[in-house]
Structure 1
């Protein structure tokens, strides 16, 4: 696969100013240089991306995004730090929403299931609950298994 079909995610660390990092996802390549870098994903991969910025007065932006990389010509949305973009599955902005998303992600991690393998529809449903300032419905490993089976049969 050529590099032109990869989605690049910007990684960054500047103490007390900026942090942009992957919460989950398996890049096929990472290019790190000092305190910044790029993680590259092929089409169809899910990843969780945290982007935090601050100034002298405190946090000015804190987002958590779950996205799926698209095939060439596929529908994508512009996501800061992601080039050329990706299919947005969940976006939590602000302290309360990000903490709610992280707590939900912790429940998925506790099951031993890789969040990058969770069904995109599940992430969309969680996004809607978080946007409504509610906790997502509890993650159910049986529902996850059913979604994985459905994916296997539909391909």
Structure 2
């Protein structure tokens, strides 16, 4: 079986665009180690071999990076990170397989939490909203609620509209 399709990567360009990009190395070894992008808009893809490729995201792009791994005894890693690609000179956090790193909006591990985030992403898509365009504050909210053991609120069209109006009002 091949790696899952990249959600939202329809605009992938065949050659590297100018400027600094955030690169994410994806690995797919069926039932051993599986890294994929759940949502986001890559601007470049480099295929390294049958099992590895690198996706590049421009500064400001928001994307979800899922990592899963198992061994003979079961799952050993199950995590999701929602990141915003940074501009040159911006501060950032480092993560495995992400160069140079990114602004972490949400970070969680363990299948119950990862599944809850995946369901929230599905719910945003059911509203016909691209999760990569959702308010970054929402992803921080989800992160904080999960870390506190509370249920996060659902994303709404009103919240999304307010986020876009706020973006237009900023200089």
Name the TM-score class by shorter chain: over 0.9
Question: Would you tell me which structure has more helix in proportion to its own residues?
Answer: 1
Q: After superposition, where does 1:3-152 map in structure 2 within 5 Å? A: 5-32=20-47, 33-152=49-168
Secondary structure, counterpart of 1:22 in structure 2? strand
Secondary structure, counterpart of 1:116 in structure 2? helix
Q: C-alpha root-mean-square deviation of aligned residues, in Å? A: 1.1
Instruction: Look up the match of 2:4.
Output: none
Aligned length: 154
Unmatched 5+ stretches in structure 1:
none
CA distance in structure 2 between the partners assigned to 1:129 and 1:103 by the alignment:
15
CA deviation digits over 1:19-46, x for unaligned, max 9? Answer: 0000000100011231110000111100
| 142-151 vs 128-137, which moves further | 128-137
Q: CA deviation at 1:64?
A: 0.5
Moved over 2 A (4+): none
CA distance in structure 2 between the partners assigned to 1:15 and 1:68 by the alignment:
28
Secondary structure, counterpart of 2:79 in structure 1? strand
1:97 touches 1:133 (CA, 8 Å); kept in 2? no
CA deviation digits over 1:45-80, x for unaligned, max 9? Answer: 000010001111111111111000000010100111
Q: CA deviation at 1:122?
A: 1.1
Q: Given the two structures, how large is their TM-score scaled by the length of structure 1?
A: 0.95
Instruction: Look up the match of 2:13.
Output: none
1:17 touches 1:54 (CA, 8 Å); kept in 2? yes
Q: CA deviation at 1:135?
A: 2.2
1:97 touches 1:131 (CA, 8 Å); kept in 2? no
CA distance in structure 1 between the partners assigned to 2:123 and 2:25 by the alignment:
26
